[in-house]
């Protein structure tokens, strides 16, 4: 399997990644669909990314189009605009464990509170509709 999160890409996905209909037509021009149902054709991800990269090498591509193509390529390759940061990297292993343990305890307490509030709402709803268990 390739290094992509999905083996195929549809026109709709490319549109959702910010590409125009014209850009999509140019990208998929020489790529044969590997799957097709009544609504969508699926194109191999490797060939779609190769086509996008080929368009990026074209010196006549305008800057805003280049940005759109790069963004689509990032999404297709499984990336995003979210940067992962390890805020605990400067802590010792013991400090990390202590911090994570306290986070778990805090979340457990919050979960208990939410469960209690939910149970109260359910009880009130049952009273309103006259439900008896």
Q: Are residues 68 and 12 in the same domain?
A: yes
Per-residue model confidence as pLDDT tens digits over 11-26: 988 998 889 999 999 9
Q: Are residues 13 and 55 in the same domain?
A: yes
* Residue 82 within a domain: no
* Residue 81 within a domain: no
Q: How many domains does the chain have?
A: 2
Q: Are residues 114 and 59 in the same domain?
A: no
Q: Return the bridge partners of 44, or none.
A: 8
Interhelix angle 45-57/63-76, rounded to 10 degrees, is 160
> Whole domain around residue 28: which residue ranges?
8-76
| pLDDT bracket for residue 1 (50, 70, 90) | very low
* Residue 64 within a domain: yes
* Residue 108 within a domain: yes
């Amino acid at each position: 399997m390739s290094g992509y999160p999905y083996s195929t890409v549809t026109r709709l996905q490319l549109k959702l990644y910010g590409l125009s209909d014209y850009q999509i037509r140019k990208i998929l021009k020489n790529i044969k669909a590997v799957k097709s149902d009544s609504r969508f054709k699926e194109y191999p991800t490797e060939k779609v990314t190769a086509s996008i990269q080929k368009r990026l090498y074209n010196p006549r591509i305008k800057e805003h189009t280049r940005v759109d193509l790069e963004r689509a390529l990032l999404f297709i390759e499984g990336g995003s605009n979210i940067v992962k940061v390890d805020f605990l990297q400067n802590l010792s292993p013991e400090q990390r464990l202590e911090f994570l343990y306290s986070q778990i305890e805090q979340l457990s307490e919050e979960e208990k509170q939410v469960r209690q509030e939910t149970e109260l709402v359910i009880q009130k709803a049952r009273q309103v509709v006259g439900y008896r268990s």
